[in-house]
Structure 1
Amino acid sequence: MFRSTIINQRQHVGLQKLSALAGVTHSSLGPSKNYKFIQDETSGESSLVCSCVRLLENLEPTCAVGQLVNETIQAHQKVYHSGSGCLLFLAGAWSRAALECLQRGISVAHIISAMSEGMDMCLDVCRKNSISTASLCAAPSENCSAASQDSDHDLPKKPVVGASQVSSHLRTTGLTHKTHNTSGQRRIKLTHSRHFCEAKPEYVSAVPRPPSQDSKYVDIACIAGTVSHGCVDAMNLAVEASRMQSKNSEQDVSCSTFDVAKVMTCVLPGLPEEHACVLPGCVVLLSAEQASVAQRLKQQHLKVALINGDLSDKYRHLGFNRPAGLGRVTEKLDLGSLSKEEEWVENVLTSLLKLNVNLILVSGVASEKLIQHCYTQHILVVEKMKDSVLKAFASATGAVPVTYATQLTKHCVGTGTQVAVWRDLSSNERKSSVAVNISTNSNTGLVTVILTSCVYGKLQALEDRFWACAYRLHHALKDGALLPGAGGIEMLCVRHLQKHSREENGDSVQQTKAGRAGSPYSDVVLRLMADGLIDYVSTVMVNTGRWSKVKAWTAVSRQLQDSNGVLGVRAKCSKLFLEAETEDSASSSVMKSSEASAGEVYDNLSVKLEAWRKALDLVLLVLQTDAEVITGTDHKTVGAQANLMLL
């Protein structure tokens, strides 16, 4: 894919590589999630993918820009589980915009300043057009339609139309960048060097709900319908998981909380997709040896030990540094005694038997030798458990998670855990044979979503699709606000950027005639940024299979010219998407014409804004790095440090 890309060595190579890498994933953007095979020419192995995240994982780019893009996408996906396609596409579009600016002779400093200004405008548009989830589904009986006939759950097809906007409840300072220096030029702040990941964006704040609308009246099923983006089956599973959590915790079903950290997935190949379901507790697949131990432990009250890390003799906690060059004489001599690992296994096994431990939950991996010895003593070891699962079991059983097995005491062991065989899959699965449900006497809030498919290679995509829906619902409830979907918010930003560009152009001419120093570049940069957003929406339209690139671009441009005001832009742009479906939360959301009308589809506030921010940060970082490589940096020059984005 990269061989056909011609890199002009006279230009900024980094920006060209960023644009080329983004172009590889264009086909995975928007409604058409077509599966693609990626084959390794060396080994002959192939992978089945249908998202830009999995595509980048299998491509394994070796250049510096490729590694930076991959790490950025992975960091974003780890937190939000959606919006990566939007991030990468806009990074490519705005990198081409930056290249165009450089070809026109615009300096790097002016490009950074103007693009940062454009991003602030887009954030302001999002702030003014955010919609409160409390207002969206304040009265579920009136605003939400009946359940879908094809679904077992109450996921609405027709969410509320024309919901009130809550710009008065949004803080102006909450949606502004705080990365500008005194000269107005944008700086990038990275918490972990190359990783563009923040626990909570500075510019995103939850939308306060009106005092008259209590959170318990927010209908989760209604909110889920607005952000399902065509993935009805996956979103139904997320809604059912939320309902099961509320039921188990004896809360109102309509309570506006969804603890996605306590949701697990278990994939079962060999069964049709219609067998997907949600179960309380922690369901895991066990091997034949593990299953035999589980069979002996079923219907017993077990004692559980929790290990936060790897269960091995070589594991050390984060931050531990062993002194280099030091060793024991006994480690160098072969005296016929037990090896260090065998001695450790013997000590751990003795401690487990003394404490009568029957079940060990490990967040990492366990030593194979220890696992084999545990099997002979009927001790079940379950690896790769989520940290949130360990915390839930610790709260329910009284167990205390420890880093090393040698730290276990009677005060660290919990009680009240059961193991039940849920389904025997010996005839369906090649590696794992039994699905076991691990639960406790008290409620933990843990639920497991069972995902099934007869096509083994499709399971990864189904799991990614579910997590995208679950996190869309989670962030919608957490943010308390949504953005207009179906390309609405993108087109509102385009309209605002174009309008400001024309104003800047007119002001520059007047200032030039008056003999004052104007801003002759903002109009060009803002117009190119707007073109990138138009390219994004038009590409989503092309991927529906009903538009060509030229026709899609022309249709969007015509709708922008014909529309009058905010409502006109939203209404007209929504009509362009009435014949397709979408799955990406940061993509322009679209639905079938028989099931949707203008304003019915919404996007996540925090996900979209974070994707836009990361995309621009990525472009500006590569832009400045290219400039430093080409021209160098003179530290003696006055003001040279002010233009640098420091890591």
Structure 2
Amino acid sequence: MLGSEIINNRQHVGLQKLSALAGISHSFLGPSKKYKFVQDDASGGSALVCSCFRVVENLELTCAVGQLVHETLQAHQKVYRTGSGCLLFLAGAWSRAALDCLQRGIPVAHIISAMSEGMDVCVDVCGKCAISTERLGGTTLDGLAEASQASFQGAAEVKSLKISEQRKIKLSRHFREAKYENIPKVPQTHQPKLPDVLRIAEGLSHGCDDSMKLVIEAFQVQTKTNQDTNYSTFDVAKVVTCVLPCLPEEHSCVALGCVALLPPERTLVAHHLKGQDLKVALISGDLSHTYRHLGFNRPTGLQRVSDKLESSKEDEWVEKVLTLLLNLNVSLILISGLASEKVIAHCCRRHILVVEKVKGSVLKTFASSTGAVPVTYATQLSKHHVCTGVKVTIWRDFAQNEKKSATAVNISTGRHDGLVTVILTSCVHAKLPVLEDQFWACAYRLHHALKDRALLPGAGGAEMLCVHHLRERAERHIKNGDRVQRSKTGPSANRYSGVVLRLMADGLIDYISTVMVNTGKFSKVKARTAVSQQLRNYDLGIAETTSQLFSEAKPDEARAVGVYDNLSVKQEAWRKALDLVLLVLQTDAEVITGVSQKTENLTLL
């Protein structure tokens, strides 16, 4: 054996750290959501979390692998708002698979190639078992299982899956979003039908039933009031959330327009302006004299000599902005960032309401509804940028203590613009961020389901199909490798690929069994036994609903429950998980052990 294939305990520590860090995702998988506290030993503060993304966000990760995991989850969460637990879990499972391969003496180049092939197999399986959202009006899970089994039988007749092009790996710290033009579409031979949104939403709730009910209500309100949308889309860009403490959770509701909670000092201004037809200014940034747009480069070599000079400049800027606002008769300012305390104080004295932290998409909606033009700096405002047509109404007053009170106001244009606010309430203040995360996870699941116009079998169904196909592909590789070895010609790459693919399949099995254990109905042994039985049924050509994996009832007694997963979200989580593993694997090989791709290729000769 060549020296490049020798692995010791001090090498590939990156994969070991990734595997260890992924352990935090285990308790957050499945429909049974578990709450955990993350405590800061230094300050004594704590945060209530209910997802692995929030755990990672609150951890102090100093190692390179930890920072890379954080960046990867951030990138995924920013786009999809769900699936971070699946991503991190599989990154850990496949990192252990890569370590196992290294201990078996499999070269890094073959591990990367085989795992990339395995991902191609999984993506191909997802395309074949994807369910059109149009079919959900009259399709049961039994029908979905039969359709999935039919795809198995069709694939068995073909000796090898046709992959048009080997997946090209570009390992980078910054992951690019995958494009889905090549994902197989469900063929349509008729005009599109309106999907059964209620059934889709129920199948995508994943244990967050209360949050999904709010999503459905927001969807219904939006589609009834927005003339530009229909029942086949859900525009999450026009949905905002407003969290209100000190109220029971049953008070959560949905309202038209943009509801915002104002601090006590702006309550009187809101009462003064309520019901009036206001002139609005839109600012995409901070309302501060020190704010500069993204990409602005400050002059180099400048030093601050006196704070008085800086304070004088701020006073001049505030006076200039106030004069401009008064001349334009602006009564309402919506900004995407924050406003300085001086500006807010002066605006309140002149009955000008400032509302901060307004989503950029909401500013765009107000712009299209009123004709106002967003600007980056307040000094850019002119009569061409401000418009009338916005009203502020008092949604509810809340007494925070005996002397001060906060006010929730509803800002709307009175037009059918589809702008909806979901008000989230809880008596437990620390629970509000968790409820907000759960709502957005459900909202984005429905959004992507209607956007993809396809779903995957849930409750481990898609993973089970991938395991079946990965094992079939592995067996073919192993048989081909044995034949090549007997003839003593050619490389033994096929045998390597077979081992790697089986280890990838084991990672998916570990994911399914962990979700089953988290339901509280299975031990680890019972879960793996149920998965093994299901795989044997696939091999024998027996079609069963994968939801029976999560029920201890007999197959003929198990009630079919529609559980689905998002196609694009799941595929992107799998891709990011594998990219994370391969990046750490290659970094370990090249930086820590000094192994290069050229050295690896020598092992094939």
- The answer as to whether partners of 2:133 and 2:196 remain within 8 angstroms in 1 is no
- Residue number in structure 1 paired with 2:143: 162
- Residue number in structure 1 paired with 2:170: 188
Tell me by how many angstroms 1:250 deviates.
4.1
- Residue number in structure 1 paired with 2:190: 212
CA gap of 1:50–1:334, structure 2 versus 1, over 3 A, is: closer
> Which segment drifts farther, 86-95 or 264-273?
264-273
Alignment of 1:461-480 (within 5 A): 461-480=434-453
Aligned counterparts of 2:423 and 2:294: Cα–Cα separation in 1: 33
- Residue number in structure 2 paired with 1:40: 40
Aligned counterparts of 1:491 and 1:432: Cα–Cα separation in 2: 54
- Residue number in structure 1 paired with 2:423: 450
> What residue ranges of structure 2 are gaps of 5+ in the alignment?
1-7, 152-160
Q: 2:284 aligns with which of 293, 308, 324?
A: 308
Alignment of 1:352-367 (within 5 A): 352-367=325-340
Q: What RMSD, in angstroms, separates the aligned Cα atoms of the two structures?
A: 2.9
Bigger helix fraction:
2
- Residue number in structure 1 paired with 2:575: 613
**2:194 is equivalent to residue 231 of structure 1:** no
- Residue number in structure 2 paired with 1:151: none
- The answer as to whether partners of 1:273 and 1:454 remain within 8 angstroms in 2 is yes
CA gap of 1:204–1:245, structure 2 versus 1, over 3 A, is: farther
Code of the residue aligned with 2:196 in structure 1: it is: D
Aligned counterparts of 2:317 and 2:473: Cα–Cα separation in 1: 69
- The answer as to whether partners of 2:589 and 2:596 remain within 8 angstroms in 1 is no
Aligned counterparts of 1:335 and 1:81: Cα–Cα separation in 2: 45
Aligned counterparts of 1:197 and 1:11: Cα–Cα separation in 2: 29
CA gap of 1:616–1:566, structure 2 versus 1, over 3 A, is: farther
Q: 1:549 aligns with which of 517, 524, 528?
A: 524
Partner-residue secondary structure (3-state), 1:279? strand
Partner-residue secondary structure (3-state), 1:466? helix
Alignment of 1:80-91 (within 5 A): 80-91=80-91
Tell me by how many angstroms 1:630 deviates.
2.4
Q: Which runs of 4+ in 1 moved over 6 A?
A: 175-178, 333-338, 428-432
Tell me by how many angstroms 1:457 deviates.
1.3
How many residue pairs align between the two structures? 580
Aligned counterparts of 2:181 and 2:105: Cα–Cα separation in 1: 32
Aligned counterparts of 2:162 and 2:299: Cα–Cα separation in 1: 47
CA gap of 1:380–1:422, structure 2 versus 1, over 3 A, is: same
Alignment of 1:145-156 (within 5 A): none
Tell me by how many angstroms 1:596 deviates.
4.6
CA gap of 1:541–1:9, structure 2 versus 1, over 3 A, is: same
- Residue number in structure 2 paired with 1:644: none
Aligned counterparts of 1:303 and 1:471: Cα–Cα separation in 2: 33
Alignment of 1:220-299 (within 5 A): 220-250=197-227, 255-299=231-275
Tell me by how many angstroms 1:12 deviates.
0.6
Aligned counterparts of 2:171 and 2:417: Cα–Cα separation in 1: 38
CA gap of 1:197–1:60, structure 2 versus 1, over 3 A, is: farther
Tell me by how many angstroms 1:31 deviates.
2.3
Partner-residue secondary structure (3-state), 1:472? helix
- The answer as to whether partners of 1:36 and 1:49 remain within 8 angstroms in 2 is yes
- Residue number in structure 2 paired with 1:561: 536
Partner-residue secondary structure (3-state), 1:563? helix
What is the percent sequence identity of the aligned residues? 63
Code of the residue aligned with 1:302 in structure 2: it is: L
- Residue number in structure 2 paired with 1:11: 11
Aligned counterparts of 1:79 and 1:121: Cα–Cα separation in 2: 24
- The answer as to whether partners of 2:241 and 2:421 remain within 8 angstroms in 1 is yes
CA gap of 1:357–1:176, structure 2 versus 1, over 3 A, is: farther
Alignment of 1:80-119 (within 5 A): 80-119=80-119
- The answer as to whether partners of 2:245 and 2:428 remain within 8 angstroms in 1 is yes
CA gap of 1:204–1:374, structure 2 versus 1, over 3 A, is: farther
Partner-residue secondary structure (3-state), 1:312? coil
- The answer as to whether partners of 1:270 and 1:428 remain within 8 angstroms in 2 is no
CA gap of 1:553–1:501, structure 2 versus 1, over 3 A, is: same
> What residue ranges of structure 1 are gaps of 5+ in the alignment?
1-7, 144-158, 169-174, 581-592, 641-647
CA gap of 1:432–1:208, structure 2 versus 1, over 3 A, is: farther
- Residue number in structure 1 paired with 2:590: 628
- Residue number in structure 2 paired with 1:643: none
Tell me by how many angstroms 1:430 deviates.
11
Alignment of 1:553-592 (within 5 A): 553-564=528-539, 568=543, 570-571=544-545, 573-578=546-551
Partner-residue secondary structure (3-state), 2:550? coil
